[in-house]
Amino acid sequence: MKHLDISKALKDTTLIGETVVVCGWVRTFRDSAAVSFLELTDGTSFQKLQVVIDKSVLKPDPECLKLGASVFVKGEVVKAYKGEGNELNAKEIALLGNCPAEYPIQKKRTTLDFLRGIPHLRLRTNTFQAVFRVRSVAAQAIHRYFHDNGYYYINTPLITASDCEGAGEMFRVTTQPWQTGYKTEEEYYKEDFFGVKAGLSVSGQLEGEVAATALGKIYTFGPSFRAENSNTKRHLAEFWHVEPEIAFAELPDVIEIAESLLKYLINAVLTECPEEIKFFDSFVEKGLIDKLTHVATSDFGVCTYTEAVKILEKENEHFQFPVHWGSDLQSEHEKYLTEQVFKRPVFVTDYPKEIKSFYMKQNADGKTVAATDCLVPGIGEIIGGSEREANFDKLVAAMKARGMDMDSYKQYLDLRLFGSVPHGGFGLGFERFVMYVTGMENIRDVTLFPRSVKNIM
Ligand code: ATP
Ligand code: MN
Give the ligand 1 atom nearest the CA of 384.
11
Q: Do 91 and 134 share a domain, yes or no?
A: no
The domain boundary, picked from 103, 135, 169, lies at 103
Q: What is the structure's pLDDT at 184?
A: 87
Mark whether 206 and 257 lie in a shared domain.
Answer: yes
CATH for 27: 2.40.50.140
The alpha carbon of residue 1 and the mean position of all alpha carbons in its chain are separated, in whole angstroms, by: 33
**Looking at residues 85-106, what average pLDDT do you find?**
96
Domain-ending residue, one of 103, 131, 150: 103
Same domain, 40 and 165: no
Does the reported pTM lie above 0.85?
Answer: yes
The whole-number pLDDT of residue 177 equals 81
Pairwise CA distance, residues 299 & 345, whole Å: 9
Looking at residue 181, its pLDDT comes to 81
Residue 29 and residue 154 share a domain: no
Residue 269 and residue 263: Cα distance in Å, rounded? 10
pLDDT of residue 165: 60
Whole-number Cα distances in Å, 157 to 184, 405, 413: 28, 20, 19
User: Among 79-83, 164-168, 344-348, which is the least confidently predicted range?
Assistant: 164-168
Question: Does 156 lie in the same domain as 73?
Answer: no
In percent, how much of the chain has pLDDT > 90? 89
pLDDT at 56: 93
pLDDT of amino acid 187: 87
- Cα of 386 vs centre of ligand 2, distance in Å, is 10
For residue 365, tell me if it sits in a domain. Answer: yes
Residues 39/6, Cβ–Cβ less than 8 Å: no
Query: H or E stretch including 424?
Result: strand 423-429
pLDDT given at position 334 = 96
Distance (Å) from CA 381 to ligand 2 centroid: 7
Q: Is residue 420 part of a domain?
A: yes
DSSP code string of 107-141: SS---HHHHHT-TTTGGGSHHHHHHHHHHHHHHHH
416 lines ligand 1 (CB under 6 A): no
363 and 219 both lie in a single domain: yes
Q: What is the pLDDT of residue 110?
A: 85
Q: From the CA of 429, how far away is ligand 1's center (Å)?
A: 6
For residues 79 and 129, membership in a common domain is answered with: no
Question: Contact 78/89 with Cβ under 8 angstroms?
Answer: yes
Residue 385 CA: nearest ligand 1 atom is: 11
Q: Which residues fall inside 5 Å of ion ligand 2, going by CB?
A: 384
Contact 72, 1 (CB under 8 A): yes
Identify whether residues 128 and 259 lie together within a single domain.
Answer: yes
Residues 74 and 115: their CA atoms lie apart, in Å, by: 33
Q: Write out pLDDT tens, residues 130-188.
A: 999 999 999 999 999 999 999 999 999 999 987 656 567 899 999 988 777 888 888 88
pLDDT tens for 39-63 read: 999 999 999 999 999 999 999 999 9
Q: Which domain holds residue 10?
A: 6-103
Q: Tell me what the mean pLDDT of segment 182-210 comes to.
A: 92
Residue 86: count of CB within 10 angstroms of its CB: 20
pLDDT of residue 296: 96
In a domain, residue 93? The reply is: yes
Q: Are residues 199 and 262 in the same domain?
A: yes
Q: With a 6 A CB cut-off, is 24 part of the ligand 1 pocket?
A: no
pLDDT reading at 89 higher than 90: yes
Summarize the confidence of residues 421-432 as an average pLDDT: 98
N-term to C-term CA, the chain: 33
Q: Is 439 in the pocket of ligand 1 (CB under 6 A)?
A: no
Q: Give yes or no: residues 29 and 173 share one domain.
A: no
Interatomic CA distance for residues 409 and 402, integer angstroms: 13
Q: Is 113 inside any structural domain?
A: no
Has residue 111 been placed in a domain? Answer: no
Residue 84 pLDDT > 80 = yes
Query: What does the alpha-carbon distance between residue 109 and residue 190 come to, in Å, rounded to a whole number?
Result: 54
Confidence of residue 108 (pLDDT cuts 50, 70, 90): confident
Instruction: Give the closest residue (by CA) to ligand 1 atom 3.
Output: 381
Residue 1 has pLDDT above 70, yes or no: yes
| 271-324 residue pLDDT tens | 999 999 999 999 999 999 999 999 999 999 999 999 999 999 999 999 999 999
> Same structural domain for residues 300 and 194?
yes
CATH number at residue 386: 3.30.930.10
pLDDT at 166: 57
Are 86 and 159 within one domain?
Answer: no
Task: Calculate the CA dihedral of residues 189, 193, 194, 195 and round it to 10 degrees.
Answer: 40
Residues 350, 208: Cα–Cα separation, whole Å: 22
Structural domain total, the chain: 2
Q: Domain for residue 54, yes or no?
A: yes
- Higher-confidence residue of 181 and 386: namely 386
pLDDT of residue 82: 86
pLDDT tens digits for 428-453? 999 999 999 999 999 999 999 999 99
Mean pLDDT of the chain: 95
Instruction: Please report whether residue 152 resides in a domain.
Output: yes
The minimum-distance atom of ligand 1 relative to the CA of 433 is 20
